[in-house]
Amino acid sequence: VKRFIKAAGIPENVFTVWRNVFRNFDMQKARQTSMLFHGGSSGIGTTATVLAKGFGVDKVVVTAGSDQKCNECLKIGADVAINYKKEDDWTENAGKVDFILDMVGGEYLNQNLKILNTNGKLVIIGFLKSPISKVNMTRVLLKSLTITGSVLRSQPQSFKELLANEIRESVWPLIETGKVKLPAKISHVFKGIDHTEEALSVMKSSSHIGKIIVQV
């Protein structure tokens, strides 16, 4: 049963992270690459962190909303964990990075552009704050930055099958050999579909660290 619970925590996060972070990433440049993941203690954030270190990424920076969350992120491999609730300007401790995965939006957009290196890339997968932001595009031009975004659920089945095959080739061997542990962190396991609403409440509260699973 425990194996099935763990297995349930893998697909969505891995598909999201593979598609948005590593699918078009040059693995040979991993040792010279720095990445930042917002929502570092979320299911997606923890998955991105362990996969990044598994693929050999030099520096992983995450943001999270408490010292406890930051400590857990460091335990699973993050090199720098920033409590954004205690920092007036989290960018000061983040340093420069080559890639950012953002699910926050709002004023984070300009802050993200500020710390990206030349030829850096920002991928947006959500808007926990706001989908609207006023942006000075000068940084995008001067640093040749790429800004993109995506959602997975609206993609055709054929594309999802393609991703599954790529993950089977590139990610699954890391899991099988134990090089990466996925899910990196399970926060809650609710037994019974009647606990779905409770699970959603925990997710909305942002009190969890890692994946929330409902066992049916």
Please check whether residue 76 lies inside any domain of the structure. Answer: yes
For residue 29, the domain's CATH number is: 3.40.50.720
pLDDT at 178: 93
User: What's the chain's average pLDDT?
Assistant: 95
DSSP β-bridge partners for residue 83: 64
Please check whether residue 201 lies inside any domain of the structure. Answer: no
Instruction: Give the whole-number percent of the chain exceeding pLDDT 90.
Output: 88
Which residue is it, tokens 């930042």? 36
Task: Note the pTM of the prediction, 2 decimals.
Answer: 0.93
Residues 35-83: pLDDT tens digits?
999 999 999 999 999 999 999 999 999 999 999 999 999 999 999 999 9
Please check whether residue 8 lies inside any domain of the structure. Answer: yes
Cβ atoms of 208 and 186 closer than 8 Å: no
pLDDT at 1: 61
pLDDT above 90 for 19: yes
pLDDT above 90 for 2: no
pLDDT above 80 for 143: yes
The string of DSSP codes covering 1-69 is -HHHHHHHTSHHHHHHHIIIIITT--GGGGGG-EEEESSTTBHHHHHHHHHHHHTT-SEEEEEESSHHH
Show the domain range for 96.
2-149
pLDDT confidence band for 136 (50 / 70 / 90): confident
Please check whether residue 54 lies inside any domain of the structure. Answer: yes
Please check whether residue 134 lies inside any domain of the structure. Answer: yes
Cβ atoms of 94 and 34 closer than 8 Å: no
pLDDT at 87: 87
Total structural domains within the chain: 1
Cβ atoms of 30 and 3 closer than 8 Å: no
Residues 144-199: pLDDT tens digits?
999 999 998 889 999 999 999 999 999 999 999 999 999 988 999 999 999 999 99
Please check whether residue 31 lies inside any domain of the structure. Answer: yes
